[in-house]
Structures are given as structure tokens and as C-alpha cells.
């Protein structure tokens, strides 16, 4: 068997475009050349990768299952080339980063600061769901991932997770609200308050280990929105109070500038953990290691500042 990277590249491009013509345009080859590469690959593997009719071209069952493997092989080669290139200097290279929703909000500021110190390292950002962060790492489509704690990581020997930071759940209220003057706000203090919450798994993490009454109140909040910016604006307009994670300086600055108060919640103190994920079987390139170290220092400094502003529970 003599499978080549050109054959795999042709396979991926034909599969993604659904056409030999479009694939040949994309690869800057003739249609007959692309067709020949596919035929060579099929002969090498002794399988049909595509079901062909006069009017339609589609992946065969075998082709459908082999496509992710082909992508992984090419990603491995791309990573190999990038790592070989970056070894020429610790200050050069490329870092591919996947981040989940909350982490994505703070990451542009991190990357901007990193670029000032390491202008020759290019960091690309892919924002996605928490589950897809792990998938992109598994497929070697990214070097590092940042996202919330996920149980499946403990069951996967291919992934490692380093704690990056943990955030307390807080409540945001108008300055004139009764809770704004409280030295300490507990979850039970929210009883009877009209709540504005986020849709999705955010609610599940909020309500874990809370009393049944408070958990019921949160799950049945009168206002459920998709974006934290919407929840904060509704709080400013007097619709109710919202639950929040102080996940980036801009949130705290916006809260303060709009006559709102952010208070950590206690009894119990609930923390949401965020991790840096990577493949355990693959050493990071110098560029990726440099970015990972910078990321950890950045958030260490940030949360030191939050503590000084009394935005974190003691």
C-alpha cells in the first residue's frame, strides 16, 4: 500500500466540495489529475470512496468513515511542519486555540497582550461549544483548548487538563437595590427576586448543591436569555437581577459604569472551573508552550486584581 498525501488531499477536497471540478479548481489541478488521484487511492485501499452517478457524487459508507482519518493525517503533517518550523526560534511559530463561550469573551484581550510581547507568534482563535473544544483537540485541529470542566476528560487518556482559573457565581443588581448594600449576599437572599438567567447548561451548574427552593426559583426564572450582555442590560433597565461570572474585565467595567453592583454569592460559594486542554500524547511546540505560560500568568494577575477589588469570595 502506497498512500500519498496528495491522494488524501484530493480525497478531502472532493468530499468537501462534492465535485471533481470544484476540487480541481481549489487544488489548482486539472479535473483528470484529481480524478486520477482518487482512483489511485481507491486502488491502494481496495475500496470505493465515492458513489458515482451521472448526476451526483457522494461519499460511500467506507469513504464517510475514512474521511475523519484522512483529515487527521493531514492535520498531523501540518502540525509536524509547523513544529519543525517553530523549532528554529522560541519566538516564532503558530498557535491554534479553541475556546468555549465564556472563555472566548476574554481571549481577544489576552491574545492582543501576547502579540505585543511576541509579535512573531501567530495565534488563531476558534470559538465553539465546550464539547467541540475537546473534539478539535482530539482531531489535532488545534494545539490548545480553553473551556469549562468536563467529566469526559477524566475518562480520556488522550487529553490532559491544567486548571487555568475558577470563577465565583455572582449576582448583579442596580446600585439602589436592597442587596447592593449587603456586606455578603447568600443564595437564600435571592428568594423572591425576579431573576434573569442564561439558557443552556449554565443553569445546571448554577443550581447544583443549592436548596430545592432556590434551585426551583432559578430554573423557573421569568427571564431567560442567550447572551450575558442581554441579561446585564435587562438588569440595568430594572427587569430583575442576574447571575453572572466575572469572566473578563470588560464585564466588571460595564457593570460599574452603568450603576450596577456585582456581588459574589456565598453559602455555598460556587465556583466554575476553567481548564487548558491539550493532547497528552503530543509535546507542545515552543510557540504553544510560550502562549500557555503567558495565559497562566495573565489570569493569575487578573484574579489577583479581582481579589483586591473584592470581586472574589474570601
Helices (H), the chain: 5-17, 20-27, 31-45, 61-86, 101-117, 130-138, 202-207, 212-219, 228-236, 249-257, 286-308
Question: Tens digit of pLDDT for each residue in 201-210?
Answer: 778 778 888 9
- 223/7 Cα distance (integer angstroms): 53
Sequence-separated (6 or more) residues with CB below 8 Å from residue 36: none
Sequence-separated (6 or more) residues with CB below 8 Å from residue 234: 196, 223, 225, 240, 242
Q: Residue 281 has what DSSP assignment?
A: T
Give the length of the chain: 314
What local confidence, expressed as pLDDT, does residue 76 receive? 85
User: H/E element holding 197?
Assistant: strand 195-198
Please determine whether the domains at 5-82 and 89-165+273-308 fall in the same fold group of CATH.
Answer: no
Give me the phi and psi of 98, to 5 degrees please: -110, 135
Assigned CATH topology for domain 170-269? D-Maltodextrin-Binding Protein; domain 2 (3.40.190)
What local confidence, expressed as pLDDT, does residue 208 receive? 83
Domain 89-165+273-308 falls under CATH 3.40.50.360:
no
Instruction: State the virtual CA torsion across 82, 83, 86, 88 in degrees, nearest 10.
Output: -120
What local confidence, expressed as pLDDT, does residue 218 receive? 93
State the burial class of residue 86 (Cβ atoms within 10 Å of its Cβ: 0-12, 13-18, 19+). Answer: buried
Query: Do strands 93-99 and 144-148 pair parallel, antiparallel, or not at all (unpaired)?
Result: parallel
- 67/205 Cα distance (integer angstroms): 36
Domain boundaries defined on the chain: 5-82, 89-165+273-308, 170-269
- 139/155 Cα distance (integer angstroms): 17
CA separation (Å) from 17 to 141, 213, 221? Answer: 20, 53, 45
- 177/193 Cα distance (integer angstroms): 11
Q: Inter-axis angle of helices 31-45 and 5-17, to 10 degrees?
A: 110
What local confidence, expressed as pLDDT, does residue 1 receive? 67
Q: What is the pTM of this model?
A: 0.62
The CATH architecture of the domain made up of 5-82 is Orthogonal Bundle (1.10)
Residue segments in the chain with a per-residue pLDDT below the cut of 50: 89, 91
- 25/192 Cα distance (integer angstroms): 63
Does the CA dihedral 16-21-24-28 come out positive or negative?
negative
Q: What percent of the chain has pLDDT over 90?
A: 51
What local confidence, expressed as pLDDT, does residue 88 receive? 53
What local confidence, expressed as pLDDT, does residue 309 receive? 62
Sequence-separated (6 or more) residues with CB below 8 Å from residue 67: 11, 12, 15, 59
Amino acid at each position: 500500500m502506497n498512500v500519498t498525501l496528495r491522494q488524501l488531499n484530493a480525497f478531502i477536497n472532493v468530499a468537501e466540495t462534492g465535485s471533481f471540478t470544484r476540487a480541481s479548481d481549489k487544488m489548482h489541478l486539472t479535473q483528470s489529475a484529481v480524478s486520477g488521484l482518487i482512483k489511485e487511492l481507491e486502488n491502494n485501499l481496495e475500496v470505493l470512496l465515492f458513489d458515482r452517478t451521472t448526476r451526483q457524487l457522494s461519499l460511500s459508507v467506507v469513504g464517510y468513515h475514512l474521511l475523519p482519518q484522512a483529515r487527521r493525517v493531514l492535520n498531523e503533517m501540518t502540525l509536524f511542519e509547523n513544529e519543525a518550523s517553530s523549532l528554529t526560534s522560541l519566538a516564532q511559530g503558530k498557535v491554534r486555540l479553541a475556546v468555549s463561550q465564556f472563555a472566548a469573551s476574554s481571549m481577544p484581550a489576552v491574545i492582543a497582550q501576547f502579540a505585543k510581547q511576541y509579535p512573531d507568534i501567530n495565534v488563531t482563535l476558534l470559538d465553539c461549544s465546550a464539547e467541540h473544544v475537546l473534539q478539535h483537540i482530539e482531531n489535532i485541529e488545534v494545539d490548545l483548548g480553553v473551556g469549562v470542566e468536563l467529566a469526559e476528560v477524566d475518562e480520556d487518556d488522550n487529553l490532559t487538563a491544567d486548571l487555568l482559573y475558577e470563577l465565583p457565581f455572582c449576582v448583579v443588581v442596580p446600585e439602589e437595590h436592597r442587596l447592593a448594600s449587603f456586606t455578603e449576599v447568600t443564595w437564600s437572599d435571592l428568594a423572591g427576586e425576579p431573576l434573569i438567567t442564561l439558557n443552556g447548561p449554565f443553569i445546571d451548574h448554577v443550581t447544583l448543591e443549592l436548596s430545592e427552593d432556590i434551585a426551583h426559583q432559578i430554573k423557573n426564572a421569568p427571564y431567560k436569555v442567550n447572551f450575558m450582555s442581554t441579561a446585564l442590560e435587562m438588569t440595568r433597565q430594572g427587569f430583575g437581577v442576574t447571575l453572572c461570572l466575572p469572566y473578563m474585565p470588560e464585564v466588571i467595567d460595564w457593570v460599574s459604569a452603568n450603576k450596577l453592583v456585582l456581588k459574589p454569592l456565598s453559602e455555598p460559594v460556587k465556583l466554575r472551573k476553567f481548564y487548558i486542554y491539550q493532547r497528552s500524547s503530543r509535546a507542545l511546540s515552543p510557540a504553544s508552550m510560550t502562549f500557555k505560560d503567558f495565559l497562566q500568568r495573565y489570569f493569575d494577575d487578573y484574579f489577583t486584581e479581582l481579589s483586591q477589588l473584592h470581586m472574589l469570595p474570601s
